[in-house]
Structure 1
Amino acid sequence: MIHLMIVDDEERARTGIRSLIDWTKHDITIVCEARDGAEALELLNNVHVDILLTDIRMPEMDGLSLIEHVTNDYPHIKCVIMSGYDEFAYAQKALTIGASDYLLKPSRTQEILDTVLKLKAIIEEARHQENTLEKLKVGFRESFPLLKEKTLSRLVMTDNPPFERLLANLHINGEAFPHLFFGIIVLQIDNLHMLQRKYDQEDIELFKYGVKNIAEETFSALFRCAAFEHQDDIIVILNTEDWTGIDELNQHAAEVQQHIRQYLKFTVSIGIGSFDPGINHLRISYQESIRALDMKYFIGTEKIVDYKETVDDDPVHTSYPLSQEKAIIQAVATGDQNAIAERLNAFNEALKPASTSKEHIQKSMLALVFALYRYCIEKNINTNDVFGESLTELTHIIEHSSMDYIVQTLTDVLLKASEQLHVKKNSNKMFQSVLDYMEHNYHKDINRETVAREVFITPGYLSFLFKQELKTNFLDHLHKIRIDHACRLLHDRSMKLSDIAHAAGYNDEKYFFQIFKKYIGMTPTQYRNNLGADSL
């Protein structure tokens, strides 16, 4: 049952919405009505509401304010704003602050009903997904998967395992493989790292548990089967009386993909190994499935690949495309975005995905990343601005994503590096103009603010540039320029010290003496006398 609330200061409008539509027919009940936003908020303290239908212009509290409160305090409620044609701007604003939809007054009853039914479908879908996840949680907590998973893993992953003892352990857990033929399918969650960004680890484990459940339930119509997890993959052991062909396996694999997409809201790719007699064939079938899934790395996501479509490791095509790497770095240096994308594609093409291994592709992509990282360090670019705080996530993407997504991610990284390099170059040019201005105007009454104004930057950014480029501050550099000039003038004994101080930019002779001694280690008089001693 969906609970609906109507908020409108006109009783006739509320009565019309309530009486002209047969809400109960659609499993919807109007749980309360309010004359304005303030009254509605009071009612919401005690009444559960799923959909709120509200006018805009109302006394006490208008519809926009009401929606803001509801969005913050009751985020599950779907809000629909009702407005006239002259209030359409308000309706647009309502959508930006949390409204799910809007209706223009006067609205036909069918329009109101269609809008509410659309939101009802969204709510029911969310409830269904929540119930599905809750059931998975209950099953996950109540099961004892650890011993079973370790046993299944040893059956498949180890050479010459103790089959009899392992099968006896499985029998204790109610698992048996009584038939002659064995085979393996492997399921990989596409772009797993994207889910790991969005959900915590408990949710990720729950999703894997859901994948196992769906795979086992789907294939159990045809096989005795059991699923377990290995390094983020889901491995399913299939056991049957008769040899099974690829077409039949593909059909069931597609059904698994459909159910996962529908109920778990992500996609998987599936590798299929061969069927042969004997439990010792599991290891071979698993290796075939993994090699088949390597193809997914090249051809995209949500694929079903069987063992006949494996990739040959041809050593002729395993050299690293060094010239393409240099071309990419050159494009980054010039800032040509189109060239960056084109040369990365050329790098990808040079790896010849059709005739090389997934491992070689991954190593080559990582080598490109490290080459870019080294280039950023050489150019004094902050690597955190390009790669984040570490390379771990980028490495994870390369190891667990499709080729299309890897190329997209690396393109973004290359563009970031190019942008940071461009910013660095512009900063260098700007800073050089600052230094030039100071060299030509040190004798004037200049300070950090006046110099920053000359080059159209803020004083704070000017200080940042000095710290970054010279590891000093503005005032120290200005004093250095002035004192260097004063030292040159002191060679001319005809000039008075007061004239030298003024020529160097100091109006106060006493202050000039203090600064000079601080930077030179002696007074101007002592410096000039030492010049005389040197000349003797």
Structure 2
Amino acid sequence: MYKLFLVDDEIDLVEGIRTSIDWTSYDIEICGEADNGITALEKILLLNPDIIIMDIRMPKMNGLELLQNITSHKLKSKCIILSGYDDFSYAKKAIELNASNYLLKPCRPKDILESVLDIIKVIEKENIKEDLLKKYQIEFNENLPTIKENFLKTILKNPIGDSYDILNKFESFNINLRNSNLVANIITLDYSTVLHELYSDVDICNIKISIKTFINICMNELNFYEVLEDEDHIILVISLDKKEDFNSYLLEVLNNIKNSIKLSLGFSVTIAIGSLVNSLTNINESYSSANIAIGSKFFLGDDRLITPDDINIIDYKPNSYPVNEELEIINSLRILDESSLKESIERFYTYLSSNGIPSKSHMKSATLSLLGSVYKFCIESNIDINSSSNRDLSAFDKVLQCSTLSEIKDQIRLILNSIFYKINDIEKHNSLVKIAVNYITQNYNKDISLESISKQIYITPGYLSQLFKQEIGINFLEFVNKYRIEKSKEFLKDKTLKNYEIATLVGYSNEKHFSKTFKKYTGLTPTKYKDSINS
């Protein structure tokens, strides 16, 4: 029910407004009355009415002054001003003070009611808008952690355009960073491949949560930082108090984080430290340098801090990694060229040795990178190499255990040959199913069976049935029936053909069997289907 408050020093007028209109029938109650502005203000602040009807001329405090006080108290009450003066200056002032309407005395009850009802419509619209805003705000708050994390990832990985817009979003998303002395750090679990074998995804997720907890504990003295997850990494962005903290305090804090995680969880982590940048506009540069640093784990080892200075002392050479040879190896797997695969593997290691005897760590790093690219190719090509060669998941460990170049080359040959033959088997199976499907589409009008097709491609019916279900997703007989029914729909468009003729045309010797099968897959008999498409 809407609350209406009346203010006028003319008691008869107030009485008339109250009694001449059946307010309750319009879902309105008169919650209070006053005969002067001061008393009215006290009651209005207490009752908080939706609508106020007030005279412009009153003792102690006039209507305009009362309206000004209502506005200053930021009340949502809508006001209707009554005045006996046809003076535009009064109306103008009332509008400036956000009066909803200005009525001249004497006012008919009809005019007052219409004005009140118009205001109620405005209030209803405002309430709907306010409810929507509250709903959006609740949804925003619920999704804020995800929004915040995605936004941070975006500015870390991409150049920033409008820094003013970015700073506004920092405030909107409650991001706890300052626009100076920023460092992006990447924290990664060591031996992540082994950990993913030993632990479930839920366990790994809980480990990451624990790591973030330890980060927050260790960061209690630093007020401005953000922690977020990105794939297998945890990113820690810090705003330092001053540049000098980079080489002293920051290293101490990060080393404390690393040691605390290892001591409490039993897992070692490597932390790559990005370069120090002056503002949010180039925070992506700090993240980029941290990303380069984390990639040097193969050279520098695990369970350590990797600083920008560590990266500078590594002697990177233009031909330190044989990119083209890696592509040749992957292409050999793609086209199933065994001879080319062997030659490409040999060229890969010849390239690595072209500048002299490579170090053990360099060779292992290159081999692990090659394995990573090969496994990525298999995943992107939907090649399941795990089913028959689950042992290959420990290939990274096997390479790490090798002590000579010869052992590394032998190991990589074994791994890649295993993958090669797995892909070859998959292609062979796919080819057999394609032949079977092609035979069905060419001979659907004949008496075909699992046994007859098996003889055509020289495999057992049971094996063909297994391949069919595996590759197509449905069994052999269901595929044949579905194909025949689809072809029969084309023949049913011909009004001159009888149902028994169509049954024969699509491979059914019995019209009743055809009709029953047709209804199973379409929900209609052939006759009803024909009527539906020809009506």
TM-score surpassing 0.5? no
Larger radius of gyration: 2
TM-score w.r.t. length of structure 1: 0.39
Q: TM-score, normalised by structure 2?
A: 0.39
